[in-house]
Structure 1
Amino acid sequence: MEHDVDDDKRRMPLNLTLTLAALVIIIGGMKLGADLLVPLILSLFIAIICTSPVHWLYRKGVGRRSAVLLTLLIAGVFLVLLGSLLASSFATFMEALPKLEGQLHKQYLSLLNWLSSLGVYIQPKQISEWLDPSSTMQMVPTFLGSLGSLLSQSVLIILLVIFMLFETLDFRNKVAQSLENPAPSLRRFKEFSYNLKRYLAIKTLISLVTGALIYAACLLLGVQFPLLWGTLAFGLNYIPNIGSALAALPAVLLTLVMPDGGLAKAGMLAGAYLVINFVIGNLIEPRVMGRTLGLSTLVAFLSLVVWGWILGPAGMLLSVPLTMTLKIALNSHPETRWLARMLGGRLE
């Protein structure tokens, strides 16, 4: 007995080394295959969200193919309408961008004169390099290039979603026929599937509410391009910690320099962003999610950095869903449940 214990202790460093080496290889492979992984992951998440209405229609007597096609048709119509409205708003924004750059330059000169009147020592050349609009605008083609690449893969994503939805209808039967004792595996998969669908549904609903409230706030304040800012708030709400700030920054800054804007309107818009994100992010979302579907602040921020490094900008948007998927998978197995607790938030 003691001999077995000593052997286990000797094997621990070797097992740890092999585990770390395997982890490095997996992460390296994911980074190299990011172009392939991103559409696969997006397809999987979309299919998981669409699974519930497909199964509901199937239980109501609708055929398999009809249930899948009807669900995708409704989702597609919604996305096409939203995309057309967003494209129109973005086109209007790009037409007004040169005027906004001129207003921003005037505000910049006013800021330099105000700092000089206060006796603050500044280097205009260095500040100009920091605030150069051309350097900032160089980020726009990069972002649009990533978005365009993602949109160009939309056909692949749609096909993958369709095939995945058809597979989910027979998945339980396949598992039951493949395993000698399928009950434990099916039970763990059911727990994993339920928690993941619940998380994605709640997060998507909360993001929609956040985007709708930002859109309404922009309409009430008379801010231009409200649909653009609402959609941006919806998408960036998936990014933990800094997503709300990234969504608020362009809207507030452009409102500050717009002819019908100003300091008062920009301040009210910033206050609206602050109140909406504080109430939803700190009061409503933790109560709706619960402790089971929560992540610690450190883990959420590290997931943003790690998944962003592996998968690029799409990894930042998917960082929390991916980490939550990992946590739910770990929580579904008794031997790895302790790791899921380590990833969770504060215990009450």
Structure 2
Amino acid sequence: MAADRALKTMVGMMLVILLSVAAQQASSVLAPLALALFIIAIVWPVQRWLQARMPKLLALAITIIVTISVCMAFASLAVWGFGRVGRSLVADAGRYQALYNELIVWLEARGFSLAEVWADYFNVSWMLRVLQHLGGRINTALTFWIVTLVYVLLGLLEVDDMRRKVEALRNPETARFLLTGAASAAAKFRRYMLVRTLMSALTGLLVWVFAWATGLSFAAEWGVIAFVLNYIPFLGPFIATLFPTLLAISHFDTWQAALGVFVCLNVIQFVVGSYVEPRVAGNLLSISPTVVLFAIFFWTFLWGLFGTFIGVPITIAILTICGEHPSARWLADLLGRPPDKAIKRAV
């Protein structure tokens, strides 16, 4: 028996590794599909409510328009905030150049020469490569969202048909497992986005209050930027603290004040993002905060920036499906479900 369990464990680990490699290699196909399923799960209650009161195609058109409008609203907020701040940074380019020159003189007086490093690495060819890379990333992102939108359109049209097909399966237990797991995962997706939105709003509010209290320019813009970027774990908060610090360098007279801005903004991001949000999300979604953190790193490794955003929902779906199947329920109890629920089930 012990040998059988060890063999099953080894096979399971190998299967996980193979699936991870396959997910990484097929990211261009699987990533848009994963995002489309996530969007469908969130907007399906709207689609279902509308199509009960009007033709299905009209309900679909309204749902898609609302979905696109919400995404465009978030993008517009980011463009508005970064646009106003960017114009200020460009206007203060002379000030930043002077600060840079002072830094060069200070470092060279202590034996550090940045001029040679800048000439060797940060030259015109490097800048052209960066611009080409950014252009390629923008084209890839546009293609990604177009493919995702097509998946969402087709998926919303087929939700009812797919449910009827699953209900018609010969094995009632399999049908129940699939339907219950999908419904539970979709409900958790919606709760996850609710928690994420609330925490992003809290972060944006705290950043705005801090910027306003310290007299930092563009307090409202920094709050909006922090709100939008907080939907991207780790990388978004880092950007939301870096740019206010750059502005603080030219806004305040001492580097200690700019360092204080950087530290305080990181404290806000840390408390909300690394302490409050994982615990709130873990309680509502029955996921350990450690698993939430691991999911972010793991899916970021597989799918990059998109994996940072979608990693936790994918993990939610996996644990939810495991919790609905008797043979895999132990995994959901170990990593996802609170101990009291596991005890009640055992009793």
Q: TM-score, normalised by structure 1?
A: 0.75
- C-alpha distance in 2 between matches for 1:147 and 1:173: 39
Query: Pick from 188, 191, 200: which aligns with 1:195?
Result: 188
Change (3 A) 1:76 1:187: closer
Give 1:38's aligned amino acid: A
Structure 2: which 5+ runs fail to align? 341-347
Equivalent residue letter for 2:48: H
Q: 215-224 or 202-211, which moves further after superposition?
A: 215-224
Aligned-residue RMSD, C-alpha: 4.0
1:13-32 paired onto structure 2 within 5 Å: 13-32=6-25
Structure 1, unmatched stretches of 5+, are none
For the Cα contact (< 8 Å) 2:40–2:156, is it kept in 1?
Answer: yes
Distance in 1, Cα, partners of 2:260 & 2:129:
27
Q: Using the TM superposition, give the Cα deviation of residue 302 of structure 1 relative to its aligned residue in structure 2, in angstroms.
A: 3.1
Using the TM superposition, give the Cα deviation of residue 53 of structure 1 relative to its aligned residue in structure 2, in angstroms: 1.6
Is 1:177 the equivalent of 2:171? no
Does residue 312 in structure 1 map to residue 304 in structure 2? yes
Which residue does the alignment assign to 1:53? 46
Contact 1:330/1:337, CA 8 A, preserved across alignment: yes
Equivalent position to 2:146, from 145, 148, 155: 155
Per-residue CA distance 1:188-226 (angstroms, 9 max, x = gap): 333333223322343244335534654676577453495
Question: Which residue number corresponds to residue 293 of structure 1?
Answer: 286
Map Cα deviations across residues 151-199 of structure 1 (whole Å, 9 max, x no partner).
Answer: 2332222221111112223333221112331344433333333223322
Contact 2:206–2:268 at 8 Å: present in 1 too?
no
- Aligned residue pairs total 333
Deviation, structure 1 residue 257: 2.9
Aligned match of 2:249: 257
Question: Contact 1:46/1:161 (CA < 8 Å) preserved in 2?
Answer: yes
Q: Does 1:337 align with 2:329?
A: yes
- Give the structure 1 partner of residue 63 of structure 2: 71
Is 1:168–2:168 an aligned residue pair?
Answer: no
Within 5 Å, which residues of 2 pair with 1:87-236? 87=79, 89-91=81-83, 98=90, 100=92, 102-111=94-103, 123-125=112-114, 142=133, 145-181=136-172, 182-211=175-204, 214=207, 221=215, 223-224=217-218, 226-227=220-221, 230-231=224-225, 233-236=227-230
More off after superposition, 187-196 vs 273-282: 273-282
CA distance 1:137–1:41, shift in 2 (3 Å): farther
Q: Give distance in 2, aligned partners of 1:266 and 1:18.
A: 51
Structure 1 contact 229–247 (Cα < 8 Å) conserved: no
Say if 1:333 and 1:290 are closer, same or farther in 2 by CA, change over 3 A.
same
In structure 2, relative to structure 1, the CA distance for the partners of 1:192 and 1:78 (3 Å cut) is closer
Name the residue aligned to 1:42: 35
- How much has 1:110 moved relative to structure 2? 4.0
- Alignment CA distance shift 1:28-1:326 (3 Å): same
Distance 1:142 1:15, change over 3 A: same
Percent identity for Structure 1 against Structure 2: 18
1:68–1:165 CA contact under 8 A, matched in 2: yes
Q: Contact 1:295/1:343 (CA < 8 Å) preserved in 2?
A: yes
Q: Pick closer, same or farther for the CA change 1:94–1:164 going to 2, 3 Å.
A: same
